[in-house]
């Protein structure tokens, strides 16, 4: 299914989140990922994220579409974040 994931986590967990999400999805920009995942893989990723985040501090939004309909994407402003901040 088609997935868009957006995370908002404390700085100390950004590196781990990024690494984790990159194993499953394509990094679009900053804390936004997109990709195609099976239901099993999505559950696996959700489980890993739940183990990684602090549920009182962090939040992760996962949009998914079982029908696989993709969305068009427009980026206004800076095309892509520099990778300097990433591990």
Question: Which residues of the shown chain bind its own copies in the complex (CB under 8 A)?
Answer: 2, 4, 6, 8-9, 28-32, 46, 49-50, 53-67, 69-81
CB of 23 vs its own copies, minimal distance in Å: 17
* Whether 24 contacts 86, CB under 8 Å: no
Closest to its own copies by CB, 22 vs 47, is 47
- Closest alpha carbon to 5 in 86, 55, 29: 29
Q: Which two tokens stand for residue 75?
A: 């980026």
CB of 29 vs its own copies, minimal distance in Å: 6
Distance CA 39, CA 55 (A): 23
Distance CA 6, CA 16 (A): 14
Residue 58 in marked binding region: no
Closest to its own copies by CB, 8 vs 36, is 8
Closest to its own copies by CB, 22 vs 80, is 80
Q: Which two tokens stand for residue 36?
A: 């195609």
Binding residues for Mg(2+), as ranges, are 8
């Amino acid at each position: 299914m088609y997935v868009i994931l957006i995370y908002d986590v404390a700085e100390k967990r950004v590196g781990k989140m990024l690494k984790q999400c990159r194993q499953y999805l394509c990094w679009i920009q900053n804390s936004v990922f997109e990709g195609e995942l099976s239901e099993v893989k999505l559950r696996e990723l959700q489980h890993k994220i739940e183990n990684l985040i602090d549920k009182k501090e962090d939040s992760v939004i996962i949009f998914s579409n079982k029908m696989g309909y993709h969305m068009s994407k427009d980026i206004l402003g800076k095309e892509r974040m520099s990778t300097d901040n990433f591990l």
